[in-house]
Amino acid sequence: MDLAFLHPLYEHSGPWASVYVDTSRHTEDTPHERQLTAQAMARQLADQGADEATCRAIRSAIEDLGHSSEPHGRALFARAGEVVLDPPLARPPQGGDWAEWAPLPRVTPLLELAGEDPVCVVAYVDRKGADFELRSGLGSKGAGSVTGRQWPVHRTSSVDWSERHFQLRVENTWEHNAAEIADALAVCQEETRADLLILVGDDRERRSVHERLPKRLHDLVVEAPHGSGSRLLDDDVERARAEHVAGRAEAELERFRAARNPDDEGRAGAVEGVPALVEAAREHRIDELLVRPNGPDAHREVWIGEDPDQLAVRRTDLKILGEQHSWPARADDALIRSAVATDAAALAVAEREVPAGGLGALLRWK
C-alpha cells in the first residue's frame, strides 16, 4: 500500500479523532440511522476527552453520509474541529462503527479496509473492438473503448478457391483488431495504473489480445472463463482480485523470510519486534512495513515526539535523544507515521506466525 495519501494526517500535531463507519446497508431509514450513528460516535469521542469542535465536525461529516451511496464505509480523521481526511473503504469495518481519540490517528485498519483494493481494467473483447471498464472495491465506471476494422470479420462456409482470398482478409482483420485492442489496453493500464487486466470474450479473441500485449503486462492478465452476458462474470472478477491480493502478500512474506537471514557481511535485510523496528524507523531504514493488525506487537506502547522519527520504546530514551515533549502511542500507529515520512510502503498480512509479533519490516540500506 502506498502511504502517500496519509501525508495530511502528519502535517499537524494531535490528538486525533479516528472514526470508522459502516455504510454498507441502505434502506429508506438510512438518513435517520446515519444521524444516530453520528450522535453515537460524537458521544464516544467526547467520553474519551475529545474537544467539542472536533466532535461536532465528526457528527456533521457522518450525517452528510446519510444521502450518499457509499458501498462499504468511510474512515474519518479529525482534529481541532476539522475533518482532515475521509478516505472511502473497500470493505465494511469489522465489528461495525467505532471511534477513538488518541495522540496519533488510527490508520492501521486502513491497510485491510482500504489499502489492498486492486484496480482492474475489464476488457470486453470481440472481433470488431473492445470496451474497457475500470473496477475496484468502490464500484465500476467506463474506461474507454477501441474500434477496429469493421469488415470483413465473418468467415463464409464456402471452401471454393474463389473464397480463399476473402478468408485471408477476414483473418487479417481479426489480427489487426487484436493488435489495436492490445495497444489501447496497454495505454489504459498505464493511465489508470491498474493492477489487473481481465479479458472477457471468446477464447480465440482473448488469446489473440493476450499474446499481443507487452511482455511487462503478461503477469497482470487474467482471462475470464465466463462471458459478458454471464452472471458469473462478477465472481470471476472478484476471484481474480482476491487472488492478486493473496499472491502479492505471499510474495512479500517470502521476501521477508529470506531477508531475515544475514548476508556475508552479517547484515539482515529485514527485522521484526518493536525494539528493532523503532531503531530502524529512527534511522529511516524502513522500506516496507508489514503489519498483522491483530498481532500483539501492534498494541504495544511506545513513546513519540513531535517529529516522525522521534520514537522510542521507553520515555527516558526520548529524553536522552533530546526530545523534551513526548506522548504514549500504539507501536503500529507510530511506525506508520514514520513510514509515511520516509515514503515507505506498508502491507497488511494475515500470516499468524510471520512476523512473529505482528510487526516486521523490509529494510533499505544507505
**Strand partners of residue 295:** none
Q: Who contacts 157 (Cβ-Cβ below 8 Å, separation ≥6)?
A: none
Q: Give tens-digit pLDDT for 303-343.
A: 999 999 999 999 998 888 777 789 999 999 999 999 999 99
**Strand partners of residue 270:** 362
Three cell numbers, residue 97: 462503527
Question: pLDDT: is 163 or 137 the higher one?
Answer: 137
Locus of grid cell 515507505: 344
User: In the 8-state DSSP scheme, what is residue 160?
Assistant: -
Question: pLDDT: is 228 or 103 the higher one?
Answer: 103
Which pLDDT score is estimated for 166? Answer: 44
Which pLDDT band holds residue 284 (cuts at 50, 70, 90)? very high
| Mean pLDDT of all residues in 194-222 | 92
Mean pLDDT of the chain: 87
Helix, strand, coil % over all residues of the chain, rounded to 5: 40, 25, 35
